[in-house]
């Protein structure tokens, strides 16, 4: 039982790190995706980060242009 209680803070820290990194990692992905599609990567990354993180990502996924060949 004590091992499970000791694991609690470690799991909480891991979740906080994952939740904190997820928006940053998706912003990097969106930047790269936008550049490959001929759009401004900086503007798209800012959209993903600052327009209420999951909403900004969904907006980019819905309205992104077709990839260039």
The whole domain housing 13 covers 2-63
pLDDT of residue 4: 59
Distance CA 47, CA 69 (A): 25
User: Cα dist. 41→2, 6, 18, 20, 65 in Å?
Assistant: 48, 43, 23, 21, 13
Q: Is residue 42 part of a domain?
A: yes
Per-10-residue mean pLDDT of the chain, 69 residues long, equals 68 82 93 95 93 89 86
pLDDT of residue 66: 87
**Residue pLDDT, tens place only, 25-44:** 999 999 999 999 999 999 99
Q: Is residue 28 part of a domain?
A: yes
Q: Is residue 46 part of a domain?
A: yes
SS3 content of the chain, % helix, strand, coil (to 5): 80, 0, 20
Q: Is residue 68 part of a domain?
A: no
pLDDT of residue 16: 81
Domains in the chain, number = 1
Q: Is residue 69 part of a domain?
A: no
pLDDT of residue 11: 82
pLDDT of residue 69: 66
């Amino acid at each position: 039982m004590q091992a499970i209680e000791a694991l609690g803070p470690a799991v909480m820290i891991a979740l906080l790190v994952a939740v904190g990194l997820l928006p940053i990692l998706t912003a990097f992905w969106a930047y790269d995706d936008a550049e490959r599609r001929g759009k401004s990567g900086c503007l798209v990354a800012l959209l993903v980060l600052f327009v209420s993180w999951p909403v900004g990502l969904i907006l980019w996924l819905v309205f992104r242009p077709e990839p260039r060949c």
